[in-house]
Structure 1
Amino acid sequence: MEINFLSLLAAAVSALIIGAIWYNPKVFGTAWMKAADMTEEKMQGANMAKIFILAFIFAFLLAFALQFLTIHQTGALGMVGGDPSLAKPSFEAFMADYGTAFRTFKHGALHGTIAGIFIALPILGTNALFERKGAKYIFINAGYWIVTMAIMGGIVCGWQ
């Protein structure tokens, strides 16, 4: 099993696309700006190229991590030390039988959703509490990451 960089790139791009939709003023953008105490003036001075480049890099790192949560075969590979050529013949037989088991968009989306709820939500929620942000802020941002991680997980897991 090899890392599929094309799927990681596609998953990272999906995070930016979903963000453009999610934070659009006609969706949650206006509510987010109010909850985040963000103004048009604050947004004007931003270096958008830097923001989008870093956002893409962070999304790529997240996609890379999601493959280990969504593709169960990476666990089997880890059991043989990461090098299948050093594994016993039973590993090859196991992978022949189960090498593509649960490698679907649906399965990846399920695990991405679970990761969003149990990883992203608590992290964002904790930060927001200390930043003195309200529930609306938490749920808008966590909602974005739950949906995004579901789509990213689906892409990473289903793309073979």
Structure 2
Amino acid sequence: MTEAPLFAPVWVFTQLNWLAIFVAFVAAFIAGAIWFGPKTFFPMWWRAMGKDPNNMEVTGNMAVTFGATAIAAFVEAIAVATVIYFVAAVSPHFGVLEGGLVGLLLGIGLAAASSLSHRLFAGQGFKVWLIEVSSDVVNLTIMGLIIGAWR
């Protein structure tokens, strides 16, 4: 039996394909921007949040909002790549479809399941949760597909 390196978690990061992680992050960030665009789900989401449909101006510091969102998406891509690294280590024929499945399962099993109670207890309802989590599931699946293809 071989011994794992002393700092295995840090060592894993050296084994990841950082170009794939970056491309997956960018692709998912673009998909999220399309998902919540003015011609797609943003108006429906805005109304479901109880906001005035005649005033769809988002307030607050948009640099902070987009910056934090980008950082979170990059962290998600790293997490997907790390899970794929460990799953692929025991699956010799791991590829793009398996990567997509990992992303889909992370989206449904972690993102969707954990955020449901947050939205419901916050009084935002099922519709808000469904719009938001569908974007998360799609984005994580995209990340998984890209990272799975490039592992």
Report the TM-score, using the length of structure 2 for normalisation: 0.79
Q: How many residues align?
A: 135
Consecutive unaligned residues in structure 1, runs of 5 or more: 77-94
Q: TM-score, normalised by structure 1?
A: 0.75
RMSD between aligned residues: 2.1
Residue 128 of structure 1 is matched in structure 2 by: 119
Partners of 1:109 and 1:159 lie apart in 2 by 12
Which residue of 10, 13, 21 corresponds with 1:8? 21
The alignment status of 1:73 with 2:88, answered yes or no, reads yes
Q: How far is 1:38 from its partner?
A: 3.8
Unaligned 5+ segments in structure 2 are: 1-13
The structure that has the greater radius of gyration is 1
Matched, 1:46 2:60: yes
After the TM superposition, which segments of 4 or more aligned residues of structure 1 sit over 3 Å from their partners? 38-42
1:35 aligns with one of 34, 48, 59: 48
Structure with more helix by fraction:
1
- Give % identity: 31
Q: Residue deviations 1:101-150, cap 9 Å, x none? A: 21x22211111111111111112211101111111111101100111110
Q: Is the 8 A contact 1:128 1:137 kept in 2?
A: yes
